[in-house]
Amino acid sequence: MSTQTRTATTTRKWWALAVIAAAQFMVIMDTSIIGIALPKMQTDLGFSQENLTWVFNAYVIAFGGLLLLGGRLSDLLGARRVFAAGWAVLLAGSVIAGAAGDVAIELAGRAIQGGGAALIAPSALTLLMMLFGTAPQELTKALAIYGAAAPAGGTAGVFLGGVITEYISWPWVFYINIPIALLALIAVPALMPDAPARSGSVDLLGSVTVAAGLAAAVYGIVRAPEVGWASGQTWGVLGAAAALLAAFVLIQARRSEPLMRLGIFTAPNLAAANIAQLLLGAAWVPMWFFLNLYLQQVLGYSAFPAGSALLPMTTLIMLGMIVLAPRAMQRFGAKPMIVAGLTVLGLGLAIMSLVRPTGNFWVDVLPASLVAAAGMSLAFVPSLGTAISAARPEEGGLASGIVNVSYQVGSAVGLAAMTAVAASFGADRIDSVPDLTNGFSAAFIGAAVIALAGAGVTAATMRRTEPAT
């Protein structure tokens, strides 16, 4: 191969990574862009305070519930085809969510967006491994860029959500996806590596069972503060969720071609890394959600200032992931970074729980958010990289689907649980600033406990590996 050809191939590879990172950016932006718009959506569409989280959860449940199917389809049909299909579905869901005139249509659009994201996310990671998996140092750098796209998308979502909600109208938080999706669909054939389709079947029963089980679990937790934790309805729904998830495991154990091969968890560190991702999502996403509400409902920020208030935190996360994480991975390895990151995140959340009804950004938000951001930047890339590199190459789509499921399930269940905690401590009394603050503080404490539990579990279960050279 000539030098000119090698240069062209390398350039194309990094442009492909830019599209993959854009996919991660979009998937996360679609979870965060609605945060600032929620109060106006609540007024226009008639959401109650308790049900407002379903604008987030409808997306996350569809995303998390269908990720394993997305990973399986990626392995069978080829990652490039599934990646393109995901963008098309995301585009359709964005049109529906933006045009919604009532609660039901809004949630349907958000669920379709989540389904598109469930095709995009595992296929994107599979494509990344196809492009960079043979070069460890390049892979670490690529994962760092991919990982940094998540907080970039999160803050861009909050910032753009603020600008759009303040100066245009909330439907445009969804319509903004349309041009980005169209550009991605144009770029995919030219940049992404192709892989031939493989023979095999798709476990549709398993897909439906796991999606229904997750939806029932989140619904039961969200509804519990309203109907009572001891009520028959709560335990009936949670019992149904447990039965569906148990049925999913039995189906996977008996199928010759399961949606999720259970034996994959015997790969060293794969299970431990996924647990770390699950608990990371369960701590981080509730923090993001309730910090947005604290800025708007307690400090009285309008949409644009609330989005701007999160820029320092995101800048630190991006710098940490791109600059610090690859170097630290080479020096220390994954396990110490994950343990340290989750511990620091827990500390930041504990400091954040000290928020006051008469607080301000400089004292109550900025210091705690920067500490939490430092923890996130340390833990995310090594846990993600460990989770996808532990599997066999032919199961890259499955491993990518599993790690995305872990993070999204953690996010959905963590947010549902912390919403219940916040409501029980007063966050459902939106006309009382002290009660709102008490509720948000309790949610931050709960998230801190989750992060510290993640650090402990990782320390106990993950094997120490040699740093990359």
Query: Is 0.85 surpassed by the pTM of this model?
Result: no
Report residue 132 as tokens: 């960079």
* Alpha-carbon span 66 to 88, nearest angstrom: 16
Q: What's the CA gap between 415 and 55, in Å, rounded?
A: 12
**pLDDT of 186:** 93
Convert the pLDDT of each residue in 225-282 to its tens digit.
667 778 888 899 999 999 999 999 999 888 888 888 888 888 888 999 999 999 999 9
DSSP H or E stretch at residue 170: none
Task: List Cβ neighbours of 184 (8 Å cut-off, separation of 6 or more).
Answer: 19, 22, 23, 26, 87
Rg value, the chain, Cα: 21
Tokens matching residue 147: 């990982």
Average pLDDT over residues 47-64: 76
- Chain mean pLDDT for the chain: 85
Q: State the average pLDDT over residues 287-303.
A: 87
pLDDT of residue 79: 87
The rounded distance, in Å, linking the Cα atoms of 367 and 349 is: 10
Greater model confidence, 443 or 467: 443
Residue 469, pLDDT score: 46
Q: pLDDT tens, 94-150?
A: 999 999 888 889 999 999 998 999 899 888 888 988 888 777 778 878 888 887 887
- Per residue in 310-337, pLDDT (tens digit) is 889 888 988 888 888 878 888 888 899 9
